Structure 1
Amino acid sequence: MKKLLSVLMMGLFVLVLAACTANENTGSEPGKKSDDGDKTEETDEKVLYMNNSQEPTSFDPSIGFDSLSWAGLNNLMEGFTRLGQDHEPEEAIAEKWDISEDGKTYTFHIRDNAKWSNGDAVTAGDFVFAWKRLLDPETGSPAAFLAYFIEGGEAFNNGEGNVDDVKVKAVDDKTFEVTLTSPQAYFLSVITNPAFFPINEKVATENPQWFAEAESFVGNGPFNLTEWVHDSHFVMQKNDQYWDAANVKLDKVHWAMVDDTNTEYQMFQTGELDTSDVPPELSEQLFADGKAEMVDQAGDYFYRLNLTLEPFQNKNIRKAFAMAVNQQEIVDFVTKNGEKPAYGFVSPGFADPSGKDFRESNGDLVKTDIEEAKALLAKGMEEEGYETLPEVTLTYSTSEAHKKMAEAVQQMFKENLDVEVKLANMEWNVFAEEQTALKFQLSRSSFLADYADPINFLENFQAGHSMNRTGWESKEYDQLIKDAKNEADETKRFELMYEAEKILFDEMPIIPIHFYNQVYLQNEAVSGIVRHPVGYVELKWADKK
């Protein structure tokens, strides 16, 4: 790690100089900005300046299944339930719901004053249209698996059933009924995910690309999309048609797209942003000064190993690479934002029926062990008949943070295994397509929980799952996940999930690095932003003095 530390110290010196430059402007009150970013005269408008880092993947709720899209979608639209300020699901477009005695049928009652931003009433038919579209194989939604708990949903999505078998229906304009395959303790949390937002059927029928531009976008949430300059910025304005508009305090939210933490930090320093991530090189000082804040976030930073490409078809070679990584050194010297090193995949924060945390109960499933890593590498090479290990390339999506992480891991493979690993990077959209197509040997990845339950972490590695992206398959694992999803007894359900995670790490198609948290800086004049552990940023209750 000596070379790594030297590089990091040099980076620290450069960034401190940049920070000093930015600080020259600190203390001056910036003028309000117009939507194109130009300074204007002071107004009484409450405008919040945020950063989305990159262009949203899509504002189509069925397609925008990632953190780049969620920040926007979660504030432009709303489902039956919304995560409240306590991070628990609460009434949203639905004012109430009924649950059948067997726990399988939910009947949602939509608010009389629930409207779309164009003034149309939100109807049960809009939800039927959206949920069936989510499951339609022609939609190609990466989030379709979330709706497999709907009776008939998985068969329709897999091409084995038809749309009429999906058990969702509009009882009347304001009453929606859904039947599940089995009782689901986390159902009301799952449907807070943007994938389950309604779609105005009339608008979508007239214009299938309604979500692609601000001029055509129609939402039902706290804010409207009023401007979208692609790859530059987008702007939201308070939605006066929203059923709870009286509790929305902001007039406007301006989202920049700056994919560099150091630039973002400098924009925060000069008042161009109201929040910012924390540059790793400054985190220690910012924490010491009490300026950095931290909240939990359910998710992982990890690497995927591709079992369809050499040399990672061999389990012992996969384990060797995993054990050669020192997660503690990475969070101490690279990320430096108080993250917890990950020795399993399910993050802390999920209590089992006994009250014990899932992560604590299932323990550390992989740990740094250099001697064992060397022995496993030798064993695996012998099993495959390798005299020389095939060339390995680690690929990551273009980002300074991902680059630093990749360089650190590359150095560990060199020092701990004497393996030279090449690095490659590409832009996010291309990277995502190539990773899904299993084009990479070893590649960076991340997961943010879609809903608050451990099964959401573990279901990602089922055979054929859109989020698997490793080529790994296990019938035993798949059966455990299936059984857990159909198990009503919570104690038994957690036991099934514990067993499944152990199988995952015995096979080692992934290398976990750290669990996420949310470390940020925030303008003291701003209050009420809610950062949910599952990754949604909530601006409904935000305010700015």
Structure 2
Amino acid sequence: MSQYWKQGLATVASVGMIGVLLAGCGTNSTSPSGSNTSTPSGTGQTTSNSKPVEGGSITLDVTQAVPDMDPAIAFDTVSAEVGEQIYESLVTYDKGTDKIIGDLAQTYDVSSDGKTYTFHLRQGVKFSNGDPMTAEDFVFELERLLNKNMQPKPSPGSNFFLNITGAQAFYDGKAKSISGVSTPDDHTLVINLDKPQQYFIKILAMPFLSAVDPKFVNKVGNAAFDTDQAMGTGPFELQKNSQSQVVLVKNPNYWQKDSSGNQLPYLDKVTINVNANSQLDAMHWEQGQTAFMSPWLIGGDGMPSSAYPTIMNSPKYKKLVMTEPLNAIYYIGLNTKKTINGKPNPLSNVKVRQAIAYGFDRSQFVKINNGTVVPDAEPLPTTLEGYVKNLDPDAKYTYDPAKAKQLLKEAGYPNGFTIDFWNQSLDVSKKEDQAFQAMMKNIGITVNLHEVTWKDYLTKVMSGDAQSMDSAWNQDFPDASDFLNTLFNSNQAPENNLTNYSNPQVDSWLNQAQYMADASQRDTLYAKVINQTMRDAVWVPTYQLNGFWSVQSWVHGFYTSNVMYDPMQYIWVDPGH
């Protein structure tokens, strides 16, 4: 399966939706814990009663090179996995939960009307080069996020922050500063919103608004900052980033300690080798060469489908596997633009898209993935608030090649046509591509496959010119809007809305739901959105995931999360235990 992108930076989260508006003067003073509490193996955290061992290193495999190191730019799980080790946000999630706690903000207050957030920053925090972190660093990063002309490319996350007062004016070039953001002193950041937004605090847990060092960024430039010149306050600093390897080393200036007062991180070094051969990745882990496999590294559900039978049928390996449901969905996207590269696009015809939906057999994809995935028929995971249990009859698609052929005939394509299909060049992705190609051939459509690197794939699909593609979404924060508003609102095209879908009625429903405090009313609107997008056959949903983490017995302090990436600052190694 392909590497999904978020998230999430991730940027990712739990099953529930925040059902009530933040009210009163809420204060959160919890700090991230560094303890290593013992829990039974296989339930989400590695077991260890030993004292953490400082030092040492681990080696990991990743299926694709890191496309982006700049937290303002990174919006895929591969980049997020590495970036989260280097950068930190105002808030984060507590270990293995969807509870928001302070990160670089030690505490924060929310006004009674839900529109003003005051963050009290930790004092004494430094970037890995020794420069002190201040509240102005977040203002600098927010202005980068909202600079639509930033070179070499603007942030894909700007829309998450346009509810901040003055953000739209700054984004449009009508203001030189963001009026809703202020810094009363070096350790206080105030953010004012135009409207209360129940999930705003979880947007801030995403990596976009991380602390970055203005002096460093201005010195090296945006292009270098996005490739091999990272500088953050996180537990690790970047030593190397190439197409073949990423090397992280301990940040000597990291602020966080564990509950016993030990300096984090425990590890001195993390080496991540880029290897697109997932079978080889599994073999490396089975041989003990790599510390763990995870969804953020290996892609998809974290375990190569080819290795699933071997690992899960082996008593030796199975006991080392931890599982966690992931709010992640895969889909085949169908570009709705009238023309692509100057040529008429058959996919702009709704009957053609519906024909493709009727011509798709989900069971084949489940079989290719050895049963590790769950077939999905709509744009939300079954585990997320807002999922529609019973779609409208005209929004459901069963496998019916005869009906698909009839729809193509009605659309004016009795003899079919040819489309271009984009995906990553990974083992299971190729098998899925070939299966899809055969399904479409069965109804008269010829599919030209373009299987490329993760970076080239992102560049193509986010340009808006990929005619069709295999894609996926892993939630950034626990709310249906992160899927529906991000992926179907016309104002998100083409960076997130890869299909260039534009339906004024859907936009209206999405925009209304964004700021509703009543959960049932939001669910009603989102149900309308889901049924309409399925009726319009913008996507062919394929499957959703369970996450598998395969963790060596000598790796301690590891825990799973569908909210955060792998917790490398808490990991320690001891081959003797």
Report TM bin, short chain.
0.7 to 0.9
Q: Which of 472, 481, 487 is equivalent to 2:510?
A: 481
Counterpart in the other structure of 1:500: 529
User: Does 2:478 align with 1:461?
Assistant: no
Contact 1:299 1:448 in 2 (8 A): yes
- Give the CA deviation at 1:117: 1.2
Aligned-partner residue type, residue 506 of structure 1: R
Q: Which of 122, 147, 160 is equivalent to 1:146?
A: 160
The CA distance in 2 between the partners of 1:528 and 1:342, in whole Å, is 34
Counterpart in the other structure of 2:92: 82
The one-character-per-residue Cα deviations of 1:332-389 (angstroms, maximum 9, x if unpaired) are: x11125221111111133236xxxxx35476998655233x53354234324x33422
Work out the percentage of aligned pairs sharing the same amino acid: 23
- Give the CA deviation at 1:73: 0.9
TM-score, structure 1 as length reference: 0.84
The one-character-per-residue Cα deviations of 1:11-32 (angstroms, maximum 9, x if unpaired) are: xxxxxxxxxxxxxxxxxxxxxx
The one-character-per-residue Cα deviations of 1:135-163 (angstroms, maximum 9, x if unpaired) are: 11122111111212222323433x26424
Gaps of 5+ in 2: 1-52, 258-262, 294-301, 340-344
CA RMSD of aligned residues (A): 2.4
The CA distance in 2 between the partners of 1:397 and 1:164, in whole Å, is 40
User: Does 2:312 align with 1:312?
Assistant: no
Counterpart in the other structure of 1:236: 248
Counterpart in the other structure of 2:330: 301
- Give the CA deviation at 1:278: 2.6
The CA distance in 1 between the partners of 2:272 and 2:394, in whole Å, is 40
- Give the CA deviation at 1:513: 0.9
Counterpart in the other structure of 2:385: 351
User: Does 2:305 align with 1:280?
Assistant: yes
The CA distance in 1 between the partners of 2:539 and 2:179, in whole Å, is 34
The CA distance in 1 between the partners of 2:491 and 2:246, in whole Å, is 35
- Give the CA deviation at 1:167: 1.4
- Give the CA deviation at 1:544: 1.8
Contact 2:71 2:208 in 1 (8 A): yes
Counterpart in the other structure of 2:186: 173
Q: Which of 362, 365, 369 is equivalent to 1:335?
A: 369
Counterpart in the other structure of 2:550: 521
SS in 2 for 1:195: coil
SS in 2 for 1:370: coil
434-443 or 65-74, which deviates more? 434-443
Q: Which of 60, 66, 70 is equivalent to 1:56?
A: 66
- Give the CA deviation at 1:419: 3.7
Rate the CA distance shift 1:87–1:528 in 2: closer, same or farther, 3 A. farther
- Give the CA deviation at 1:491: 2.2
The CA distance in 2 between the partners of 1:165 and 1:213, in whole Å, is 28
- Give the CA deviation at 1:510: 1.1
Aligned-partner residue type, residue 398 of structure 1: S
Counterpart in the other structure of 2:421: 394
Rate the CA distance shift 1:366–1:49 in 2: closer, same or farther, 3 A. farther
Alignment of 1:63-462 (within 5 A): 63-85=73-95, 86-139=97-150, 140-157=154-171, 159=172, 161-209=174-222, 211-212=225-226, 216-225=229-238, 227-245=239-257, 246-276=263-293, 277-289=302-314, 290-291=318-319, 292-308=321-337, 309=339, 310-331=345-366, 333-336=367-370, 338-351=372-385, 358-360=387-389, 367-371=396-400, 373-383=401-411, 385-415=412-442, 417-459=443-485, 460-462=487-489
TM-score, structure 2 as length reference: 0.80
The CA distance in 2 between the partners of 1:481 and 1:239, in whole Å, is 42
Aligned-partner residue type, residue 282 of structure 1: A
The CA distance in 2 between the partners of 1:503 and 1:163, in whole Å, is 40
The CA distance in 2 between the partners of 1:317 and 1:213, in whole Å, is 41
Rate the CA distance shift 1:363–1:286 in 2: closer, same or farther, 3 A. farther
Rate the CA distance shift 1:418–1:534 in 2: closer, same or farther, 3 A. farther
The CA distance in 2 between the partners of 1:537 and 1:523, in whole Å, is 14
The CA distance in 1 between the partners of 2:394 and 2:268, in whole Å, is 48
The CA distance in 2 between the partners of 1:326 and 1:368, in whole Å, is 10
Contact 1:124 1:170 in 2 (8 A): yes
Rate the CA distance shift 1:469–1:175 in 2: closer, same or farther, 3 A. same
Contact 1:394 1:424 in 2 (8 A): yes
Rate the CA distance shift 1:160–1:126 in 2: closer, same or farther, 3 A. closer
- Give the CA deviation at 1:50: 2.0
SS in 2 for 1:540: helix
